[in-house]
């Protein structure tokens, strides 16, 4: 099948939804969704937890009934179990969750064989398909390893192999990259690109990661069961025209306050401020922002196109779904924040073994008072284990640590009294009100009775909980619950705060408000914050990052230095647009360019000499009849950094 046929609209879309609706008792999960997916495209559903993505995908896969509208797949209207059975052999469906469609005790190969038998794959074809898919996913060396001993990324790749083993025409993948390491994420997208190129496969994929939007041909932004916008990523960004201005300003909090008086979308991201200026061209937007900051030290000003998340937040605002902005935190009267630079957290060669398995391998780092420090890595990297050792929950197998002036091994109770800890698992009482939860945690942390009401009111103001004090916690939206959990962790005014993946599943508005609070706590109160995350874009908020992989720290620096080091070692990131991206991708891969990856209909790669690379790319594509539309330098992301570091480490280990 030619490439033009792969991306052109078929007369009848492969998937069509009209007025689709799904309820769970009285709760509306999906409401009136219209959707068309064309043959040979990668279509994305992007939204936070609770947006309705999983319900929609299960209905398309024929495994979930629905109450309203029509669902049509391969021209078959799914209005009965018999109709659903007619299409299931042509579909591959992978549910949400790491390895949930796999069998823990079976090996990699045994899992594949089981799904092949289930799908009645002929024996004479199985061996070749298995060999090819294992090679594509880089799982061939692990074919005898039990599934339960695989990393999160390997489980997802094995799940993908089992989903693809019968060569479906349509694959439906529910959040396949959540919690997966960046290398496995790149592998996953590379596999889809190859299947698209070779077999014209169609994919419907959901994700909570806004930074994955560029990977899709077209997408729908979903929120609370509805579609906010649909189309190509670039087209959706233009729905809310404007300019994104990034800059650095001192003092940052004063600049943030001034800008918020005039612009509804302003956020602090590490040392930078991001300002979305609606309905303004770059020159006009930059001048307007500078004008609001007169008298402050302003540097590194840059105007660019807004990102998809900026458009998403703007759409929520326009529809009245973004809620009220978080109130300014009124600081407690008390001791002045400690001087910047004082060490608040220190890990020295921390090690932890579980039954012969080393989960954390000689980890060392320092966190200064008033610093936001990030541990960035996939599920299973060892981040949570590090936090549990530092907070005294888990004894280390080796190494030392100091938290809030207390030695980790000998002062466990003292540490617990001096820190705030928000665990990965939701730690609040669902059947208690907001106020009852705050009051309970204040008593647990022994807040003096004379200060109790003042602290409770401070938490409500700081976390933006006004108006929901009497609501049951279990009925709150995820973003508000997370702010409540943060407030409970801060009610005793600790000097050190530990947050374990605090915004997983939270919508972009909720995540921005949450980070707004963290920035104020660090900058104004001098609280040291150690946060773990597997959101690459979220890690940009941190002042300093330690990249963790397989229990080890593979890089340790501020985000900007990590990116600068990547460019110094591997070159500039170039974005290439052509009229035949799949053929161009194959040509560039064969030519040996580094970091070649497909992003929707564009290609990214790294080049040490951009001008020389431009000439090589132009000649290569011209010789094969591919029209080059543009080559644009782009800023590398932390995902680019992470992938490069891991690949370099693996290469070094193989050479040793």
pLDDT at 555 over 70: yes
Domains and CATH numbers, the chain: 3-235 (3.40.50.300), 241-305 (3.30.70), 343-557 (3.40.50.300), 561-655 (3.30.70)
CA distance 503 to 547: 18
pLDDT of residue 43: 96
Quick check: 377 pLDDT over 60?
yes
Q: How far apart are CA 583 and CA 628, in angstroms?
A: 12
Mean pLDDT of the chain: 87
> Sorting pLDDT into bands at 50, 70 and 90, what band is 337?
very low
Find the mean pLDDT for residues 243-247. 95
pLDDT at 333 over 80: no
Distance CA 466, CA 480 (A): 11
Residue 380 pLDDT > 90, yes or no? no
Please give the Cα distance from 181 to 185 (Å, whole number).
Answer: 6
pLDDT at 517: 87
Sheet containing strand 170-174, edge to edge, reads 91-94, 170-174, 202-207, 42-46, 218-223, 226-231
Question: Is 276 in a helix, a strand, or coil?
Answer: strand
Query: Sorting pLDDT into bands at 50, 70 and 90, what band is 25?
Result: confident
H or E stretch at 530: strand 528-533
Report pLDDT for 417. 80
Selection from 127, 195, 198 nearest residue 164 by Cα = 195
Q: Which of 85-89, 478-482, 617-621, 629-633 has the lowest mean pLDDT?
A: 478-482
Cβ atoms 437, 484 nearer than 8 A: yes
Three-state SS annotation for 105-152: CCEHHHHHHHHHHHCCCCHHHHHHHHHHHHHHHCCHHHCCCEHHHCCH
What integer pLDDT is reported at residue 326 of this predicted model? 38
Confidence of residue 4 (pLDDT cuts 50, 70, 90): very low
**507 DSSP assignment:** -
423-457 tens-digit pLDDT: 866 678 889 999 999 999 999 888 999 999 999 99
Query: CB-based burial of residue 613 (10 Å sphere; 0-12 exposed, 13-18 middle, 19+ buried)?
Result: buried
Q: How does pLDDT run across 472-509, given as a tens digit for each residue? A: 998 887 778 888 998 999 999 899 999 888 887 677 88
Residue 39 three-state SS: coil
497 SS3 class = strand
Q: Choose among 501, 509, 565, 506: nearest CA to 539.
A: 501
pLDDT band at 336 (very low <50, low <70, confident <90, very high): very low
CA–CA dist 135, 113 (Å, integer): 16
Q: Among 35, 122, 45, which residue's Cα sits nearest to residue 73? A: 35
Of the candidates 570, 606, 602, the residue with the CA atom closest to the CA atom of residue 584: 602
The pLDDT score that the predictor gives to residue 338 is: 41
CA dihedral 514, 516, 521, 524 (to 10 degrees): -170
Q: Residue 41 and residue 142: Cα distance in Å, rounded? A: 31
Mean pLDDT on 285-312: 93
φ and ψ at residue 407, rounded to 5 degrees: -75, 135
Q: Is the pLDDT of residue 68 over 80?
A: yes
Predicted pLDDT at 325: 40
Name the band, by pLDDT with cuts 50, 70 and 90, for residue 74: very high
What's the average model confidence in pLDDT over 92-99? 84
Angle at 490 (CA atoms; ends 270, 469), nearest 5 degrees: 110
Task: Please report the pLDDT score of residue 327 as a whole number.
Answer: 35
The mean pLDDT of 596-624, rounded to a whole number, is 91
Q: In angstroms, what CA-CA distances link 376 with 151, 396, 553, 562?
A: 16, 20, 9, 13
pLDDT in tens, 164-197: 999 999 999 998 887 777 777 888 888 888 888 8
Least confident of 36-50, 62-76, 425-439: 425-439
Residue 8 has pLDDT above 50, yes or no: no
CA distance 374 to 529: 8
Q: Which of 405, 469, 475, 479 is nearest to 438 (CA)?
A: 469
Share of the chain above pLDDT 90, in %: 56
Q: Where are the alpha helices (DSSP H) in 503-558?
A: 508-525
Question: What pLDDT is recorded for position 426?
Answer: 60
Lookup: tokens for 401: 């640590």
pLDDT at 328 over 50: no
Percentage of the chain exceeding pLDDT 70? 94
Q: Kindly state the average pLDDT of the residues 396-406.
A: 91
Q: Rounded to an integer, what distance in angstroms lies between the CA atom of residue 259 and that of residue 32?
A: 38
Instruction: Determine the pLDDT at residue 520.
Output: 86
Average the pLDDT over 138-149 and give the result: 90
Is pLDDT above 80 for 515? yes
CB-CB contact of 542 with 511 (8 Å):
no
Give the span between the Cα atoms of 154 and 135, in whole angstroms: 13
Residue 331 predicted with pLDDT over 50? no
Picking from 464, 465, 521, the residue whose alpha carbon sits closest to that of residue 493 is: 521
pLDDT of 412 reads 65
State residue 273's pLDDT score.
Answer: 94
Sign (positive or negative) of CA dihedral 512, 515, 517, 519 = negative
Taking the C-alpha atoms of residue 336 and residue 462, their distance in angstroms, rounded to an integer, is 18
What pLDDT sits at residue 339?
45
Three-state SS string over 564-577 comes to: HHHHHHHCEEEEEE
Pick from 121, 320, 124: nearest CA to 224: 320
The SS3 of residue 592 is coil
Helices (H) and strands (E) in the chain, counts: 21, 28
Residue 332: is its pLDDT beyond 80? no
Q: Is the pLDDT of residue 619 over 90?
A: yes
d(CA 534, CA 98): 14
Reduced to 3 states (helix: H, G, I; strand: E, B; else coil), residue 343 is strand
Nearest 5°: CA angle at 369, between 511 and 296? 70
Q: Is residue 240 over pLDDT 70?
A: yes
Most confident of 33-47, 423-437, 629-643: 33-47
Instruction: State the alpha helices, DSSP H only, in 276-364.
Output: 282-292, 308-318
């Amino acid at each position: 099948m030619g490439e033009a046929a792969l991306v052109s609209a078929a007369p009848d879309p492969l998937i069509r939804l009209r007025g689709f609706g799904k309820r769970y008792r009285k709760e509306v999960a999906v409401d009136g969704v219209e959707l068309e997916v064309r043959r040979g495209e990668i279509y994305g559903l992007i939204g936070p937890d609770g947006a309705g993505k999983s319900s929609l995908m299960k209905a398309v896969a024929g495994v979930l009934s629905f109450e309203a509208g029509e669902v049509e797949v391969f021209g078959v209207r799914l209005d009965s179990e018999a109709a659903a059975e007619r299409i299931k052999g042509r579909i591959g469906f992978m549910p949400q969750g790491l390895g949930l469609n796999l069998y823990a005790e079976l090996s990699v190969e045994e899992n594949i064989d089981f799904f092949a038998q289930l799908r009645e794959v002929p024996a004479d074809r199985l061996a070749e398909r298995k060999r090819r898919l294992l090679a594509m996913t880089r799982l061939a060396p692990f074919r005898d390893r039990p599934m339960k001993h695989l990393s999160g990324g390997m489980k997802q790749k094995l799940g993908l192999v089992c989903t693809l083993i019968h060569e479906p025409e349509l694959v439906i993948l529910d959040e396949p990259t959540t919690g997966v390491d960046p290398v496995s994420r790149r592998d996953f997208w590379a596999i889809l690109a190859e299947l698209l190129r070779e077999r014209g496969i169609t994919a419907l994929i959901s994700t909570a990661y806004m930074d994955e939007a560029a990977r899709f041909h077209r997408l729908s932004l979903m929120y609370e069961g509805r579609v906010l916008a649909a189309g190509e990523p670039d087209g959706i960004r233009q729905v809310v025209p404007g300019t994104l201005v990034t800059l650095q300003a001192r003092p940052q909090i004063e600049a943030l306050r001034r800008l918020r008086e005039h612009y509804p979308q302003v956020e602090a991201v590490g040392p930078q401020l991001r300002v979305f200026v609606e309905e303004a061209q770059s020159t006009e937007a930059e001048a307007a922002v500078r004008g609001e900051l007169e008298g402050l030290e302003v540097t590194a000003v840059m105007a660019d196109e807004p990102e998809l998340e900026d458009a998403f937040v703007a759409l929520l605002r326009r529809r009245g779904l973004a809620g009220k902005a978080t109130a300014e935190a009124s600081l407690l009267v008390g001791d002045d924040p400690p001087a910047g630079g004082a060490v608040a957290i220190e890990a020295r060669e921390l090690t932890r073994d579980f039954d012969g398995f080393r989960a954390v391998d000689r980890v060392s780092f320092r966190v200064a008072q008033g610093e936001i420090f990030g541990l960035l890595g996939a599920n299973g990297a060892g981040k949570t284990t590090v936090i549990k050792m530092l907070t005294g929950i888990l004894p280390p197998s080796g190494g030392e640590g100091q938290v809030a002036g207390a030695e980790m091994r000998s002062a466990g109770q003292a540490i617990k009294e001096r820190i705030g800890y928000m665990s990965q698992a939701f730690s609040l009482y669902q059947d208690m009100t907001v106020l009852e939860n705050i009051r309970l945690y204040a008593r647990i942390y022994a807040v003096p009775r004379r200060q109790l009401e003042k602290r409770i009111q401070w938490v409500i103001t700081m976390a933006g909980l006004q108006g929901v004090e009497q609501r049951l916690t279990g009925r709150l939206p995820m973003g508000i619950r997370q702010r409540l959990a943060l407030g409970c962790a801060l009610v005793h005014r600790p000097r050190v705060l530990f947050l374990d993946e605090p915004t997983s599943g939270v919508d972009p508005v909720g995540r921005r408000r949450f980070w707004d609070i963290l920035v104020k706590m660090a900058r104004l109160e001098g609280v040291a914050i150690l946060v773990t995350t597997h959101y690459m874009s979220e890690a940009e908020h941190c002042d300093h990052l330690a990249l963790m992989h397989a229990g080890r720290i593979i890089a340790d620096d501020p985000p900007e230095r990590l990116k600068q080091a990547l460019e110094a070692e591997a070159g500039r990131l170039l974005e290439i647009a052509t009229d035949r991206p799949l053929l161009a991708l194959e040509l560039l891969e064969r030519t040996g360019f580094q970091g070649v990856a497909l992003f929707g209909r564009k290609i990214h790669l790294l080049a040490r000499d951009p001008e020389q690379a431009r000439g090589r790319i132009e000649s290569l594509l011209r010789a094969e009849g591919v029209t080059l539309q543009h080559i644009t330098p782009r800023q590398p992301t932390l995902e680019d950094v992470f992938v490069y570091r891991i690949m370099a480490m693996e290469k070094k280990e193989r050479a040793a």
